[in-house]
Homo-oligomer: A and B are copies of this chain.
Amino acid sequence: MMGFSLGSVLMSLGMRSEADQVSVDAITLFVGLLCTCIIIGHLLEKNKWINESITALTIGLCTGIVLLLTTEGRRSHILVFNEELFFIYVLPPIIFNAGFQVKKKQFFRNFMTITLFGVVGTLISFFIISLGSAQLFKMLNDVGFLEMGDYFALGAIFSATDSVCTLQVLNQDETPLLYSLVFGEGVVNDATSVVLFNTLQRFDLSHTTSGIATQFAGSLCSLFFTSTLLGVAVGLLSAYIIKKLYFGRHSTDREVALMILMAYLSYMMAELFSLSGILTVFFCGIVMSHYTWHNVTENSRVTTKHAFATMSFISEIFIFLYVGMDALDIEKWSAVSKSPGTSVGVSTILLGLIVLGRAAFVFPLSFISNLTRKSPDDKIGFKQQVTIWWAGLMRGAVSMALAYNKFASSGHTQIRGNAIMITSTISIVLFCTVVFGLVTKPLIRFLLPLRKPLSSMVESELSSPKFLMLPLLQNGHDREVAMNGQNSTTLPLLQNGQDPEVAMNGQNGTTHPRSLCMLLTTPAHSVHYYWRKFDNAFMRPVFGGRGFVQRIPGSPTETVVS
């Protein structure tokens, strides 16, 4: 929003210099392309192969080609890929929205598995890619000079699963378990990769000792803990402030602005303290949807829900369009054009290692995870393991950003070895997004056809319209009241009532007594049971949340219900 200054460029008024015009040009073109992507994406929505990211990537590539031809090869991209832009402005809305809209029950139920995949799995993948590339690159003649640190950096870069891509191919409503596992892993995994990457830049890796390993493990744990804590703290602060300030006045704009700004603040504070902003803003989103969201007015709820989703949507398309347009940067490709074989070799080796590295942890860790799950319904089946393995293979903008950070200096690269690494990263990202993206949707449909394993319970409730209105029914009532008395007097509010945490509480308010009993009696859920008791007794009275916000007479809800 404000971290930029185009040096001495005076802009937009009078005295337009050459540089100005280009900048206005670029923004106009880019915004126009974003619109085009949305429209074409909408038209292709029913297509079972193509998803929105492929559309954006293709449009970006085509634009890159057109620019390449019109400018006669001088510059194919209008903007160099910029990690700052990506990490400061584009990524936070996506991850925040993911936290805000995630089905919290599914997420926390699988918390241990997600952490296992996200931390241990990423480490396994990291070592396989690092050591594998160190060995295999020797077969290629002219990769250029790479130190051990560079191989470790490659490992960190390519162990970052693209959570944005994952969101595009998996559907939260169709396969909730898989979604929460793969996406949750993606968030933790991104954080792990970034930490790995940062730590590697700091430590001297020429002589690895056990001391460094311990130090590293310690810094990883403390980072996860503090990042999560910061996100939760900012989320609770926002809930407390809005609960205290809410007096039933017409303050929708203020509430929405405060939620957006505090979410962003949590991310920036994490970055400032060298924590993982991704983890922080994700947990801030979860806390906000659990407490803050229930403290605001009806209109604010609808607005925040859709405004966050829209911001995330625009950011996602932005990334793919951007990667597509940047892929044809002639400068980088000309550096590797003399030895195309090497570049292809590097890409192939890395791609193979990614596939292998992921297989090496998904299947063993799923086995370990299954040992802790008693109910056979809860176990991760083999077909699901294959899906997890496959869906997490995609590499995207996080890998791009890390690669640019390591191997390029402000987007321009001269040394040949670095150029090869950058172009290989671009090739892998393009290949993953297009090929894996095209295949994943049909693959999931093939592997898990109509079975709706594990998810049938949640899904059947979600698809019933009665269920959707429950959250609003509970306004001003206790949760238990709503659970027993499901009258449908508030049907007219239906379109407002799409609660972002619908799945979490919905299962308690279900009409299936079987699943309800199971939920409360199964020992695996006792943590959740005590959390609910604690939440109701201590947290909600302070921070608000469903049923704990006093309704002001004369507020819209009140008018309707009475």
Write the residues of chain A forming the contact surface with B, with a CB cutoff of 8 angstroms.
1-16, 21, 23-28, 30-32, 34-35, 38-39, 41-43, 45, 79-80, 82-85, 87-89, 194, 197-198, 201-202, 241, 245, 249, 251-254, 256-258, 260-262, 264-265, 268-269, 271-272, 274, 298-300, 302-303, 305-307, 309-310, 313-314, 401-402, 405-406, 409-411, 491-496, 556-557, 559-560
Note all chain B residues with C-beta closer than 8 A to A305.
Answer: 303
* Inter-subunit contact A10/B268 (CB<8 Å): no
How far apart are A368's CB and chain B's nearest CB, in angstroms? Answer: 31
* Inter-subunit contact A556/B495 (CB<8 Å): yes
Asked, given contacts A31-B265, A494-B556, A495-B299, whether A83 binds B310 with beta carbons under 8 Å apart, the answer is: no
* Inter-subunit contact A405/B35 (CB<8 Å): no
A88 to B12, CA, bound (A): 8
Which residue, A14, A21, A34, has most C-beta atoms of chain B within 10 A? A14
Please state the number of chain copies in the assembly: 2
Note all chain B residues with C-beta closer than 8 A to A258.
Answer: 35, 38-39
* Inter-subunit contact B410/A25 (CB<8 Å): no
How far apart are A252's CB and chain B's nearest CB, in angstroms? Answer: 5
Asked, given contacts A9-B410, A10-B410, whether A306 binds B2 with beta carbons under 8 Å apart, the answer is: no
Note all chain B residues with C-beta closer than 8 A to A21.
Answer: 272
Note all chain B residues with C-beta closer than 8 A to A15.
Answer: 201, 405
Note all chain B residues with C-beta closer than 8 A to A496.
Answer: 495-496
A491 to B306, CA, bound (A): 24
* Inter-subunit contact A25/B272 (CB<8 Å): yes
Nearest to A312 among chain B residues (CB) is: B253
* Inter-subunit contact A306/B309 (CB<8 Å): no
Can you report 22 A-B residue pairs in the complex whose CB atoms are below 8 A from each other?
A: A1-B89, A3-B27, A4-B85, A5-B411, A11-B87, A12-B83, A14-B198, A14-B202, A23-B84, A24-B268, A28-B271, A31-B264, A32-B265, A39-B245, A252-B309, A253-B306, A256-B307, A303-B303, A303-B306, A492-B560, A495-B496, A496-B496
Nearest to A20 among chain B residues (CB) is: B84
* Inter-subunit contact A14/B492 (CB<8 Å): no
Nearest to A314 among chain B residues (CB) is: B257
How far apart are A147's CB and chain B's nearest CB, in angstroms? Answer: 15
A274 to B11, CA, bound (A): 12
* Inter-subunit contact A405/B10 (CB<8 Å): yes
* Inter-subunit contact B303/A271 (CB<8 Å): no
* Inter-subunit contact A12/B84 (CB<8 Å): yes
* Inter-subunit contact B254/A42 (CB<8 Å): yes
A156 to B401, CA, bound (A): 45
* Inter-subunit contact A492/B495 (CB<8 Å): no
* Inter-subunit contact B495/A560 (CB<8 Å): yes
How far apart are A120's CB and chain B's nearest CB, in angstroms? Answer: 23
* Inter-subunit contact A84/B261 (CB<8 Å): no
How far apart are A190's CB and chain B's nearest CB, in angstroms? Answer: 12
Note all chain B residues with C-beta closer than 8 A to A43.
Answer: 245
